[in-house]
C-alpha cells in the first residue's frame, strides 16, 4: 500500500485567479436571481405567467431537469464505486458532488414553485400514502443524505491529508474530519465498504425513488393521457443517465481547461461512448412513447402531440430536442476515438440543451389543453421573474460546483490508484 | 343505524332544461365571493350527437365531488380529502399550493387563488368573506389563507349546514338543477340518477362523479 504516498503532494488543485471572472459572472446572475425571488416572495405566484389552466410552468420543468441531472450523475458514480469500472474513477467524486448540488438546486426550484412556501415543511410533516409526491419528498431527503455521506467517505483520505494545509481548504478539511482521521489500510478498506453499500442502496433509491419516482409523479395522472403511460418512469431514468453524463463531461472539461490541467482524453472518450449508448436508448424509448401515444388517437393526447410536432412547440422540438440535441451529438459521438476534447464538450453541451427541451415538452404542452370541451385553453408564457429566478438558481448551482471543486479534494489521487490496483 | 342516517350529497343537472344563462356562475361568485380567476362553476357549450343529429347543449361544470377523487389521491399532505357526506373538501390551512391536484383533476374544476381581488372595482370587496367549510376567515388580505392555495366548488357546504341548498341550485331560473341525498332512494336526485337519461362525464376514468347529468 505504499502507493498511497506517490500521488501529487497535495491532492486537488491550486487556488488561482482563473476562476475570478467565473465567480463574478455567477454572483451577478445570483444577485439578479435574488431580486426576482424577492419579487416572487412578495407577489406570490401572481408574478408568474401561470394560470389555473396551466398550473405548472418553467420551475417544474427545471425541477425535473435537475432531479434528472442528479440521478444521472449519481448512477454514473455507481459504475465506479459499485460496479468497479475504474476507468471512470477520476470523475467519481466529482459525479457525487454534481449529483448533490443538482438535487439541492432541484429542491430550490420546487420550493419556489409552492403556492405557500411558508408551509414547505408540511410536505414532510403530513403525508399521504397514495400520493407519489408525498413519497418523492421523502425519497429526496434520504437521497441527499446518502449523497452527502458517500461523498464524504469518498473524499475522506484526501481530506485527512489536507488537514495540515494552512489555508481555508485545510481548515475546512480539518473541520470535516475532526475525529475521523484514521488512514490505516483497515480504515480505508472500511471506507470502501461503506461506499459500496451506500452506492448499492443508492441505486434503487435513485432509480425507483428519485427519478423513476419523478416520472411516476407524471405517469399516474390519468387526467393527462400524454403523461399517463407506464413507459414514462423508464424514460425519465434513461434520460437522466443521458443528461447526467453530459453534464459531467461539460463541467469537467470546463473546469480542467480553466485550471490549466491536462484533460484525460481516454476518460472523456469513454464517457462519450457511454453518452452515445444512453442517448440511443433514450431516443428509442421516446420513439415508442410517441408512436404508441399517437396511435391511440385519443383526443387530448393527439392534440398534445400535434402541438409538439407541428404546433407551438414544433420549433423547439425539431430544432433543439431532435436536431441540436440528438442528431448532431450522435454524429459527433459516433466518431469515437477521433474526437477532441472540444468536440466532446460541444456534443455534451448540445445533449444537455436537448434534454432540457425534453423536459419542457413533457410539462408544458399537455397543460395548454382544456380538460373539458368548452373550457378555455391555456396560453402560458413565463414572466421575467420566472426566467431570472431560474437563471439565478442555476448560477447558484454552478457557484457551488466551482467552489466545491476548488475547496474539496474531488479529483483523482493516489487513493484512487490504490483501489484501481485492487480492482 | 348509521347507514340510514348517512347523507351523501349529489347534484343532478338536466341539460335539456339548462338555458345557458350563467346565473349559476354569477350566483356562485356572489355566494362564495371568489376572487378573479376562480370560478367554482362555469357553463360550457358542447356539441352532442353525431352529424346530422347534432345538438348544442349548455353543460354547467361544478366540481363533480368524485367518489374516487384523483385530486385527493395525489395530494401530498391530505389537504384535499373526501368527507363522509360525499363532498371533496380542501383544507386551506394545510394546502401547500403544489397544484398537483389541479393537473390531476379530469374536469378542470380546481382553481388556484393567486391572491387577486376585486378591490379596485368594488369598494369593500375584501371586507366580507364567505365562511367556506364553516371557517370564518375575516378580511381578505394579501398572502393570507386562502391566497396561495387551491380552491374549488364545495356544494356550498356552509349553506348545507344551515339547511339551505347550494346557491346555484336555488337560483337556477330554468330549474335545471336538483340537489339532495343520494342514499335516500325516495329523494329526487336518487330517482333522477336512476333515469335512462342519466350520465356522468368521463365515466371511463372511474372517478364516479356525484354530479349526474340528464342528457
Ligand atoms: S371534479 Fe376534480 S376537483 Fe372535483 S372531486 Fe373530482 S377530481 Fe376532485
Ligand atoms: S395544491 Fe394543495 S390541495 Fe392540491 S395537491 Fe397540493 S397540497 Fe393538496
Our answer on whether the CB atom of B212 is closer than 6 Å to any ligand 2 atom is no
Question: For residue range A78-117, what is the model confidence (pLDDT) as tens digits?
Answer: 888 888 788 888 899 999 999 999 999 999 999 999 999 9
Residue A12: partners with Cβ closer than 8 Å, 6 or more residues away? A158, A162, A169, A408, A409, A410, A411
For ligand 2, what atom is nearest to the CA of residue A122? 7
Q: Quick one: pLDDT band at residue A4, thresholds 50, 70, 90?
A: very low
- Is B111 an interface residue toward A (CB < 8 Å)? yes
The enclosing domain of B199 has a CATH number of: 3.30.70.20
Residue A34 to residue A273: CA distance in whole angstroms: 39
pLDDT computed for residue A418 by the predictor: 45
Across the interface, do B106 and A371 touch by the CB < 8 Å criterion?
A: yes
Our answer on whether the CB atom of B148 is closer than 6 Å to any ligand 2 atom is no
B165 to chain A nearest CA, in Å? 26
Taking CA–CA distances from A120, the nearest residue in chain B reads: B96
Taking CA–CA distances from B145, the nearest residue in chain A reads: A116
Domain that holds residue B209: 2-214
Question: For residue range B98-111, what is the model confidence (pLDDT) as tens digits?
Answer: 999 999 999 999 99
| Residue of A365, A370, A253 lying closest to A316 (CA atoms) | A365
Span A388-407, mean pLDDT? 95
Ranges of each domain in chain A = 16-220+386-410, 222-379
> Which of the ligands is closest to the CA of residue B87?
1
Q: Quick one: pLDDT band at residue A227, thresholds 50, 70, 90?
A: very high
Residue B132: partners with Cβ closer than 8 Å, 6 or more residues away? B32, B92, B146, B151, B154, B157, B158
pLDDT computed for residue B5 by the predictor: 67
Rounded percentage of chain B residues whose pLDDT exceeds 70: 98
Span A32-43, mean pLDDT? 95
A47 to chain B nearest CA, in Å? 9
Chain A, chain B: beta-carbon pairs less than 8 Å apart: 132
Is this model's pTM higher than 0.95 or not? no
Span A54-64, mean pLDDT? 97
Our answer on whether the CB atom of B41 is closer than 6 Å to any ligand 1 atom is no
Residue A394 to residue A30: CA distance in whole angstroms: 8
Q: Quick one: pLDDT band at residue A161, thresholds 50, 70, 90?
A: confident
pLDDT computed for residue A165 by the predictor: 81
Across the interface, do B77 and A367 touch by the CB < 8 Å criterion?
A: no
Topology of domain A222-379, CATH: 1.20.120
Q: Please tell me the least confidently modeled range out of A135-149, A341-355, B49-63, B81-95.
A: B49-63
Across the interface, do B77 and A114 touch by the CB < 8 Å criterion?
A: no
Our answer on whether the CB atom of B79 is closer than 6 Å to any ligand 2 atom is yes
Our answer on whether the CB atom of B89 is closer than 6 Å to any ligand 1 atom is no
Span A340-351, mean pLDDT? 95
Instruction: Specify the number of domains making up chain B.
Output: 1
pLDDT computed for residue B4 by the predictor: 53
In Å, how far from its chain's centre is CA A217?
A: 18
Q: Please tell me the least confidently modeled range out of A60-74, A191-205, A384-398.
A: A191-205
Q: Please tell me the least confidently modeled range out of A322-326, B97-101, B134-138, B174-178.
A: B134-138
Burial A256-282 (b: 16+ CB within 10 A, else e): bebbeeebbeebbbbbbebbbebbbbb
Give the residue, by CA position, lying nearest to ligand 1 atom 2: B105
Cα(B202) to centroid(ligand 1), Å = 12
Rounded percentage of chain A residues whose pLDDT exceeds 90: 68
Residue A414 to residue A40: CA distance in whole angstroms: 48
Across the interface, do B112 and A55 touch by the CB < 8 Å criterion?
A: yes
- Closest CB to A221: pick one of B44, B45, B103: B103
Span B40-62, mean pLDDT? 90
Rounded percentage of chain A residues whose pLDDT exceeds 70: 93
Question: For residue range B148-173, what is the model confidence (pLDDT) as tens digits?
Answer: 999 999 999 999 999 999 999 999 99
**Average of per-residue pLDDT values in chain B:** 92
pLDDT computed for residue A102 by the predictor: 97
- Does pLDDT of A12 surpass 80? no
What number is the ipTM of this complex? 0.92
In Å, how far from its chain's centre is CA B210?
A: 10
Across the interface, do B147 and A126 touch by the CB < 8 Å criterion?
A: no
Q: Which three cell numbers stand for residue B143?
A: 398572502
Cα(A142) to centroid(ligand 2), Å = 23
Our answer on whether the CB atom of B88 is closer than 6 Å to any ligand 2 atom is no
- Is B157 an interface residue toward A (CB < 8 Å)? no
- Does pLDDT of A345 surpass 50? yes
**Average of per-residue pLDDT values in chain A:** 89
Of B210 and B52, the structure prediction assigns the larger pLDDT to B210
Our answer on whether the CB atom of B89 is closer than 6 Å to any ligand 2 atom is no
Residue A142 to residue A145: CA distance in whole angstroms: 5
> Which of the ligands is closest to the CA of residue B210?
1
- Does pLDDT of A137 surpass 90? yes
Span A136-142, mean pLDDT? 95
DSSP B191: H
Amino acid at each position: 500500500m505504499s502507493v498511497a504516498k506517490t500521488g501529487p503532494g497535495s491532492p486537488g488543485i491550486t487556488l488561482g485567479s482563473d476562476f475570478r471572472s467565473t465567480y463574478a459572472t455567477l454572483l451577478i446572475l445570483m444577485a439578479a436571481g435574488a431580486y426576482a425571488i424577492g419579487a416572487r416572495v412578495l407577489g406570490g405566484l401572481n408574478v408568474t405567467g401561470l394560470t389555473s389552466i396551466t398550473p405548472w410552468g418553467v420551475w417544474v420543468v427545471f425541477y425535473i431537469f435537475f432531479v434528472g441531472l442528479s440521478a444521472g450523475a449519481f448512477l454514473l458514480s455507481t459504475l465506479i464505486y459499485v460496479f468497479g469500472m475504474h476507468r471512470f474513477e477520476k470523475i467519481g467524486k466529482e459525479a457525487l458532488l454534481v449529483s448533490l448540488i443538482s438535487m439541492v438546486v432541484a429542491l430550490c426550484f420546487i420550493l419556489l414553485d409552492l403556492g405557500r412556501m411558508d408551509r414547505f415543511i408540511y410536505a414532510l410533516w403530513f403525508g399521504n400514502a397514495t400520493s407519489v409526491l408525498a413519497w418523492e419528498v421523502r425519497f429526496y431527503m434520504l437521497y441527499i443524505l446518502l449523497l452527502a455521506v458517500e461523498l464524504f467517505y469518498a473524499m475522506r483520505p484526501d481530506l485527512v491529508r489536507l488537514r495540515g494545509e494552512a489555508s481555508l481548504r485545510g481548515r475546512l478539511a480539518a473541520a470535516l474530519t475532526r475525529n475521523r482521521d484514521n488512514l490505516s489500510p483497515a480504515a480505508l478498506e472500511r471506507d470502501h465498504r461503506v461506499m459500496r453499500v451506500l452506492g448499492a442502496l443508492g441505486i434503487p433509491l435513485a432509480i425507483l425513488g428519485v427519478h423513476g419516482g419523478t416520472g411516476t409523479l407524471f405517469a399516474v395522472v390519468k387526467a393527462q393521457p400524454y403523461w399517463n403511460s407506464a413507459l414514462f418512469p423508464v424514460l425519465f431514468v434513461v434520460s437522466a443517465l443521458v443528461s447526467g453524463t453530459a453534464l459531467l463531461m461539460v463541467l469537467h472539461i470546463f473546469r480542467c481547461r480553466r485550471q490549466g490541467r491536462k484533460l484525460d482524453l481516454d476518460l472523456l472518450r469513454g464517457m462519450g461512448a457511454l453518452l452515445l449508448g444512453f442517448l440511443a436508448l433514450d431516443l428509442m424509448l421516446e420513439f415508442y412513447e410517441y408512436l404508441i401515444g399517437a396511435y391511440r388517437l385519443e383526443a387530448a393526447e393527439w392534440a398534445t402531440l400535434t402541438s409538439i410536432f407541428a404546433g407551438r412547440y414544433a420549433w423547439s422540438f425539431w430544432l433543439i430536442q431532435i436536431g441540436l440535441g440528438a442528431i448532431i451529438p450522435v454524429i459527433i459521438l459516433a466518431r469515437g476515438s477521433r474526437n477532441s476534447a472540444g468536440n466532446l464538450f460541444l456534443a455534451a453541451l448540445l445533449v444537455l440543451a436537448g434534454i432540457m427541451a425534453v423536459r419542457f415538452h413533457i410539462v408544458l404542452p399537455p397543460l395548454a389543453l382544456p380538460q373539458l370541451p368548452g373550457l378555455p385553453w391555456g396560453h402560458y408564457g413565463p414572466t421575467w421573474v420566472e426566467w431570472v429566478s431560474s437563471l439565478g438558481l442555476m448560477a447558484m448551482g454552478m457557484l457551488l460546483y466551482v467552489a466545491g471543486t476548488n475547496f474539496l479534494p474531488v479529483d483523482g489521487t493516489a487513493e484512487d490508484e490504490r483501489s484501481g490496483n485492487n480492482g | 343505524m348509521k347507514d340510514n342516517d348517512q347523507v351523501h350529497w349529489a347534484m343532478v343537472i338536466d341539460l335539456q332544461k339548462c338555458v345557458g344563462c350563467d346565473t349559476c356562475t354569477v350566483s356562485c361568485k356572489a355566494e362564495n365571493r371568489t376572487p378573479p380567476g376562480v370560478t367554482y362553476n362555469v357553463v360550457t357549450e358542447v356539441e352532442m350527437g353525431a352529424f346530422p343529429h347534432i345538438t348544442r347543449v349548455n353543460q354547467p361544470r361544478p366540481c363533480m365531488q368524485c367518489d374516487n377523487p384523483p385530486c385527493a389521491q395525489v395530494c401530498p399532505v391530505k389537504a384535499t380529502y373526501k368527507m363522509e357526506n360525499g363532498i371533496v373538501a380542501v383544507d386551506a390551512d394545510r394546502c401547500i399550493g403544489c397544484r398537483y391536484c389541479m393537473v390531476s383533476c379530469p374536469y378542470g374544476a380546481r382553481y388556484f387563488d393567486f391572491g387577486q381581488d376585486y378591490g379596485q372595482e368594488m369598494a369593500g370587496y375584501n371586507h366580507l368573506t364567505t365562511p367556506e367549510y364553516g371557517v370564518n376567515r375575516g378580511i381578505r388580505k394579501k398572502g393570507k389563507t386562502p391566497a396561495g392555495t387551491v380552491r374549488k366548488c364545495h356544494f356550498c357546504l356552509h349553506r348545507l349546514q344551515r339547511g339551505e341548498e347550494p346557491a346555484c341550485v336555488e337560483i337556477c331560473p330554468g330549474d335545471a338543477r336538483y340537489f339532495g341525498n343520494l342514499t335516500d332512494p325516495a329523494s329526487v336526485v336518487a330517482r333522477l340518477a336512476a333515469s335512462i337519461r342519466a350520465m356522468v362525464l368521463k365515466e371511463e376514468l372511474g372517478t364516479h362523479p356525484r354530479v349526474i347529468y340528464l342528457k
